[in-house]
Amino acid sequence: MDLKILLSTFGMIFLAELGDKTQLATFAFAAESQSKVAVFLGAAGALLLTSLLAVVFGAVVSRLIPANYIKTGAGALFILLGLWMLVFPGGE
């Protein structure tokens, strides 16, 4: 196992998840629930499953498309979605 990849992945995902909608939803569930352990296990399980799917699909896609194209496409998609949200905020 490559410790550098492990730690950089952990750090980037940890920072990206701070304050996002998933964390806020988990916060809300924990505030309403009597079983904090159930909320933790449910949230952790969901994040584990979505991460597993991302790794599996990433491995498959990387066999078909070069990594630099995937990175460029992901960056372009983030920019386009950000612009979309600025232009069409979706308020009432």
- What is the domain range of residue 58? 3-87
Name the pTM for this structure.
0.70
pLDDT of residue 91: 62
Token couple for 68: 């630099």
Q: Which helix (H) or strand (E) holds 5?
A: helix 3-17
Question: What is the reported pLDDT for 90?
Answer: 74
pLDDT of residue 21: 87
Q: Is residue 92 part of a domain?
A: no
- Does the residue 10 lie in any domain? yes
Residue 62 domain flag: yes
Average pLDDT by stretches of 10, the chain with 92 residues: 93 87 92 95 95 94 93 94 88 60
pLDDT at 75 (0 to 100): 94
Domain count, the chain: 1
